[in-house]
Amino acid sequence: MRRKAISGRRSVAMSDQPTHEQQRALCSVVARAIVEIRSLARDSGNRQIEDLADAIHNLPRDMFEQDAWNPELARGALRDYADRYSRSGYLSEFDRIMAG
């Protein structure tokens, strides 16, 4: 199914979901951007932004890499974040997703 999206002033045709390889590559871009956000937050002194970026920056890449995926480590990073910022909800969302 094709949809149209407005990007700036022009209409852009939207296609089906990205291929698996495209998803993997896009997740690498997201992970790299999150690392940059974490660095910028550190420089600005905003600890919560840094902590959130630190908690999730490996998820986009690791979930596609068989040898890298460790749900206990991913959950631990989110648990550490939830311990500091209890209202975030990321840990419970992760648990719900992983429960199937």
DSSP structure string for 37-73: HHHHHHHHT-HHHHHHHHHHTTHHHHTT-TTT--HHH
Assigned domain for 14 exists: no
Integer Cα distance of 8 and 11 in angstroms: 8
* Nearest CA-CA partner of 68 in 27, 38, 29: 27
For the cut 50, the answer to whether the pLDDT of residue 44 exceeds it is yes
Assigned domain for 3 exists: no
Assigned domain for 10 exists: no
User: So what's the pLDDT on residue 89?
Assistant: 92
Assigned domain for 39 exists: yes
Domain that holds residue 72: 20-99
User: So what's the pLDDT on residue 1?
Assistant: 46
Q: How many domains does the chain have?
A: 1
pLDDT tens digits, one per residue of 45-98: 889 999 999 999 999 888 888 788 899 999 999 999 999 999 989 999 999 999
The pLDDT confidence band at residue 20, using thresholds 50, 70 and 90, is: confident
Assigned domain for 77 exists: yes
CA atoms within 13 A on the CB side of 37: 16
Assigned domain for 5 exists: no
User: So what's the pLDDT on residue 57?
Assistant: 92
Number of neighbouring beta carbons within 10 Å of residue 82 = 18
Integer Cα distance of 4 and 47 in angstroms: 38
Assigned domain for 69 exists: yes
pTM for this structure?
0.71
For the cut 90, the answer to whether the pLDDT of residue 100 exceeds it is no
As a whole number, mean pLDDT of residues 15-37 equals: 85
CA distances from 32 to 15, 26, 29, 87 (A): 25, 10, 5, 26
